[in-house]
Amino acid sequence: MTTISDPHVPAVSAEPIEPQLLDRDVSRSRLAVVVGVGLTLFAVLNATAAIYLYRGISDLRTVEGRLEELGTFEQRIVARLDTVNNGFQSRFEKLDSQLQGSFNEINGSIARLEQNPSSARDDSSTSTAEPVATTSTVADASSNNSDVAAEPAAVDTPRPLKRKSAAPPAPDPSYQRTETPDGKVYYRKIN
């Protein structure tokens, strides 16, 4: 092998020459800047997260306070409903006792009339009380028409004196009267 050497050309060595891109001092300062920027970004992110977390906790405390107020509000509503319910119950009990008293009085009067029919005629001639009439409705279970209603049946108590009774009211022209063979009377609304 022949080697040609030129004195003006630099000699090539077997080891490759790596150019030094960064100097050690320059690379250390750049690394310090990058680490500083990264730490700054991390601190900003932590501060932002802390602010949002604080706001969330504050909103949560506000909601808890409102929920506690809602509990007391619910207790006040329940107390008022109980008061209203007790008022209705006492009124219903009073009405029930009045109705029971009236029914007992009516039953006693009927019993006296049945025991002494002659004296009841004499007593009733002086009284101006109106006869008691009760109404009941008869429903046809086999009827499919929802507009069908039963005619109220009036049951009069025995009258000791003959009085002129008032004529029944005229039927409403918007209803059609239908009488079945078994004697039931129905009214159907005419559309």
Q: pLDDT tens string for the chain (191 positions)?
A: 677 667 676 665 655 555 555 577 788 888 999 999 999 999 999 999 999 999 999 999 999 999 888 888 888 898 888 888 888 888 889 999 999 999 999 999 998 888 886 654 555 555 444 444 444 343 444 444 444 444 445 555 555 555 555 666 676 778 888 888 998 888 888 87
Q: Helix (H) and strand (E) counts for the chain?
A: 2, 5
Buried/exposed code over 104-121 (b: 16+ C-beta within 10 A; e: otherwise): eeeeebeeebeeeeeebe
Sheet order of strands, 185-189 included: 148-150, 185-189, 175-179
Radius of gyration of the chain (CA): 52
Residues 18 and 62: their CA atoms lie apart, in Å, by 66
pTM for the model stands at 0.30
Residues 50 and 172: their CA atoms lie apart, in Å, by 79
